[in-house]
Structure 1
Amino acid sequence: MSSSSTSYLLKPVNVTEHLEIINKYESESYPEDEAATYEKLKYRLENANSVFRGYFTSSTCSDDEEKLIGFVCGTKTQNKILTHDTMSVHDPSPNARTLCIHSVVIQQAYRKKGLGLAMLKSYLQYLKDENLCDKILLLSKSHLIHFYESAGFILNGESNVVHGQEKWYELEYKMN
């Protein structure tokens, strides 16, 4: 009798293999007026792939395939503040040192198990290891502020960005 254990890996994702499932998870995780469209997710995968990572299961059983269970994506900007515009376009230049995170998503079946926080911490470590940005900005609903603070983000306050029906709060993570 063999036992298997599951571990999790943060890895690159691509349009061909992963866009459909990423779009499904995004749609299941955010209200319709907040979820990124298929086109926006495709744009981010194609243009901001270095800061778009998937979270995969990795079983010790050889017959088990890796399964995408979540993802984190963002775009980079040269601006130091988060605005609707900085969230809309990816700046690939070396001077774009601020990362705006758009989505932190774990598939419904894997939630409430600490995997979202583990994924986010792995993502932050990846960004540090690759020296991809100096700071990270994101928008959060009030009930998720503690989640992001647990990963090391600091609350900047209410955001001026309007997206959907609810009030958003801006959080920041400094890489140094």
Structure 2
Amino acid sequence: MIFTRCDPERDLETIKEIERREYPADEAASDAALEFRAREANEFFMVAKATTEDDAAPGDIIGYVCGTLLPSDELTAESMRPGAHVVGGSTLAIHSVCVRRHLQRRGHGSTLVREYAHNWVFNAHGGGATSGVRSIRLLCKPARTAFYLRAGFVLVGPSRVVHGADAWNECVITETTARDDRS
């Protein structure tokens, strides 16, 4: 895989399609939310593309991770809304971690999350984020919590944010935790 910033003109229609297929309707980001994130928080919208025929045709999108900056360390319903992004915030909220269904359970999701947190955001490799992000937070369903813990995140606890029909956990990884995890 190679990792690039989302190119709104080239990548966004495919990303919208993937989002609609891979998330339940009450959880999927709207087209407008994805457009906003791709344009206004582009340095935090990482796309993974195939490099070999093993996964997909070279250049095809395998998956993506996108996030926006928060004004504080707390995930709230307001901070998770589709048009929220505070330039200069030191906490990044991940909104989507998505891999095409036929490519799931091959390690791509783990690679995406680790690359995003450890290299893209905290180390600014590959044209990634360059701002002063100190922590990354996300919401995940309880059944997916162990996946994020393996990638270096720490469970904060049940989230107060309501999104869709299911309950969510909140997880966090800090710049220090990511650096320690790489050693």
2:133 corresponds to 1:141? no
Separation in 1 of the partners of 2:38 and 2:4? 13
- Give identity over the alignment, percent: 32
Residues 3 and 47 in structure 2, CA contact (< 8 A), matched pair in contact too: yes
Note if 1:80 corresponds to 2:73: yes
How many angstroms does 1:76 deviate by? 0.2
Give me the TM-score of the superposition, normalised by structure 2: 0.86
Kindly name which structure, 1 or 2, has the bigger radius of gyration based on alpha carbons: 1
| TM-score, normalization by structure 1 | 0.90
- Give the AA of the match of 1:118: T
Q: Are 1:91 and 2:86 counterparts?
A: yes
Structure 1 residues without counterparts, runs of 5 or longer: 1-7
Is 1:30 the equivalent of 2:8?
no
- In 1, distance between residues paired with 2:163 and 2:140? 11
Q: Which runs of 5+ in 2 are unaligned?
A: 125-129, 177-183
Other structure's SS at 1:161 match: coil
> Which letter does structure 2 place at the counterpart of 1:91?
V
In the other structure, the counterpart of 2:35 is: 42
Structure 1 CA distance for aligned equivalents of residues 142 and 155 of structure 2 = 10
Q: Which residue of 1 aligns with 2:7?
A: 14
Alignment pair present for 1:104 and 2:97: yes
What are the superposed Cα offsets for residues 140-171 of structure 1, whole Å, 9 maximum, x if unpaired?
00110000001000111100000000001100
**Is the Cα–Cα contact under 8 Å of residues 139 and 169 in structure 2 kept in the other structure?**
yes
| Residue correspondences, number | 165
Task: Return the offset for 1:84.
Answer: 1.0
Assess if the C-alpha contact under 8 Å between 2:138 and 2:171 holds in 1.
yes
The runs of at least 4 aligned residues of structure 1 exceeding 4 Å deviation read: none
Work out which of the residue numbers 121, 124, 148 in structure 2 matches 1:127. 121
Distance 2:164 2:153 in 1: 23
Q: Tell me the C-alpha RMSD between the 2 structures.
A: 1.5
Say if 2:53 is the partner of 1:54: no
Hey, which of these two has a bigger chunk of strand by percent? 1
Q: Which residue of 1 aligns with 2:127?
A: none
State the SS of the aligned residue for 2:35: helix
